[in-house]
Amino acid sequence: MPAYHSVFLDEPNQQVIGNFALLPLRTRTRGPAQQLPQITDTTELDIEPSHTSYDPLDEILSLFRANTFFRNFEVKGPADRVLIYGILFVSEALSKIRPGMSRRDAEKSVMNVALDTNFAIPGDAGFPLNQAFEAPKDRNEAEVLRQYIMQMRQELAMRLLNRVYSDASGQASK
């Protein structure tokens, strides 16, 4: 059984830096991403891929568990690279949350990771998957990509916390 690929692979007019897609996001975080409308008729947990506000971050969170079981992943396009990066970030963020941790403590830990400005982008020596990603052409592209990924990380951290702490207890699920 093959891994799950992004539904945004065939998205028309994708802005791409290196080979990383800068797809529209539903976010309140400042950054270069094109804004999608906020959800009014459903919830983050129930949003379907066909919804106009469904974005790559919804996809990352919904496919995270399934795609982490695959040893190999055939990259079919720039949108798959967004999915891969997001899954790596979610793994890192989840490693900061301990069972029984209060939402407030988890938020501090996860947001520290999300807001860290010393993260590697494709082309940097410390980037874990440089063999699958191309570096930006110049400094301007690198800065836009860094801002986009920062915006992604912040929004993804908040949505992840909303899922982990979706019950009213304020404690992380085991």
Domains of the chain, residue spans: 16-165
For 14-165, list the strands marked E by DSSP.
15-17, 20-22
Question: What's the mean pLDDT in 160-169?
Answer: 84
Q: What is the three-class DSSP state of 168?
A: coil
> Tell me, what's the pLDDT at 97?
95
Neighbours of 77 (CB within 10 A): 17
> Tell me, what's the pLDDT at 168?
60
H or E element that contains 120: none
Could you report the per-residue pLDDT of 85-97, keeping only the tens digit for each?
999 999 999 999 9
Res 174 pLDDT > 60: no
Res 139 pLDDT > 70: yes
- Quote the DSSP letter at residue 38: P
The identity of residue 89, as a single letter, is F
Res 171 pLDDT > 70: no
Res 2 pLDDT > 70: no
> Tell me, what's the pLDDT at 69?
81
Measure the CA–CA gap between 9 and 7, rounded to whole angstroms.
Answer: 6
Confidence of residue 57 (pLDDT cuts 50, 70, 90): very high
Measure the CA–CA gap between 52 and 54, rounded to whole angstroms.
Answer: 6
Res 134 pLDDT > 80: yes
Nearest to 151 by CA among 127, 120, 124, 117: 117
Whether the model clears a pTM of 0.85, i.e. scores above it, the answer is yes
- CATH for the stretch 16-165: 1.10.1760.10
